[in-house]
């Protein structure tokens, strides 16, 4: 049984890398925790902030084909991009499924 798990682990790790990038998607001030699968051409998750003087910040999150030059931000806007699944969330800590599965297999094989 343990050897079957060892053969299953590389398959799980390889299959996750073949899937499309997943990003959070929203516009304006709505719910920004809507995961979506990006098209095969999208390589980045993009987050844009726009804060006009005296107004509320508007946040837009989406899939992107390219990453804009983040050093050329306009006066009232800022953009950020990343290239891992659901990396454009507001949380800075992301769980890695591969690491989680590897840890579970290690604990199982150890005990």
Cβ atoms of 34 and 56 closer than 8 Å: no
pLDDT band for position 104 (cuts 50, 70, 90):
confident
- Exposed/middle/buried for residue 99 (C-beta within 10 Å: 0-12, 13-18, 19+): exposed
pLDDT in tens, 19-57: 799 999 988 766 777 799 999 999 999 999 999 999 988
Both tokens assigned to 96: 């890695």
CATH class of 2-89+96-110: mainly beta
Where do the DSSP E strands lie in 11-64?
Answer: 22-24, 35-37, 44-50, 58-64
Q: Does residue 22 come out as left (phi exceeding 0), alpha (psi in the -120 to 50 range) or beta? A: beta
* Mean pLDDT across the chain: 78
pLDDT at residue 86, rounded to an integer? 93
Domain boundaries defined on the chain: 2-89+96-110
């Amino acid at each position: 049984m343990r050897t079957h798990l060892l053969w299953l682990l590389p398959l799980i790790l390889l299959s996750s890398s073949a899937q499309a990038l997943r990003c959070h998607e929203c516009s304006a001030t709505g719910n920004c925790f809507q995961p979506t699968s990006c098209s095969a051409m999208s390589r980045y998750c993009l987050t844009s902030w726009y804060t006009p003087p005296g107004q509320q910040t508007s946040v837009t999150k989406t899939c992107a084909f390219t990453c804009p030059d983040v050093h050329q931000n306009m006066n009232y806007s800022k953009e950020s991009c990343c290239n891992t699944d659901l990396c454009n969330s507001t949380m800075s800590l992301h769980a890695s499924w591969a690491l989680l599965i590897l840890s579970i297999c290690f604990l199982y094989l150890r005990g």
